[in-house]
Amino acid sequence: MSEHIVVTGANFETEVLQSTVPVLLDFWAPWCGPCKMVGPFVEQLAQEYSGRIKVGKVNVDEEADLAGRHGIVSIPTLLVYKDGKIANQVVGALPKQNIEALFKDLV
């Protein structure tokens, strides 16, 4: 079962900026090979940290404006928001433990 939310321009403020828990945002696209490698790790972390973090996925093809506002030029890009601000950011495919390290000290 999927534990992530689909983040769009319409729900970004509510789901991310106003979140009471840290938010891991995965900027991805269905045609992106490295995104397909990272996706299962992101899903596992969403389940393992359910209730302690929120995981959102942003399809850059469908949400080009949102990706543009974040300066996304390469995918996958992972952002961690805490208290409405970007706390961590990384570009590229990473192992699960490196993704977890982006937010672990924030929960």
Instruction: Supply the DSSP string of 31-51, one letter for each residue.
Output: T-HHHHHHHHHHHHHHHHTBT
Instruction: Say what the pTM is.
Output: 0.94
Q: Which fold has domain 5-102?
A: Glutaredoxin (3.40.30)
Task: Using pLDDT thresholds of 50, 70 and 90, give the confidence band for residue 3.
Answer: confident
Answer yes or no: are the C-beta atoms of 63 and 9 closer than 8 Å. yes
Task: Tell me how far apart the terminal alpha carbons of the chain are, to the nearest angstrom.
Answer: 23
CA atoms of 34 and 20, how far apart (whole Å): 30
Query: pLDDT tens digit string along 4-24?
Result: 899 999 999 999 999 999 999
Q: Where are the domains of the chain?
A: 5-102
Query: pLDDT tens digit string along 57-87?
Result: 999 999 999 999 999 999 999 999 999 999 9
Task: Report, as residue numbers or ranges, the catalytic residues.
Answer: 32, 35
Q: In what order do the strands lie in the sheet with 54-59?
A: 5-6, 54-59, 23-28, 77-82, 85-91
For residue 1, the model assigns a pLDDT of 41
Percent of the chain with pLDDT over 70: 98
For residue 2, the model assigns a pLDDT of 56
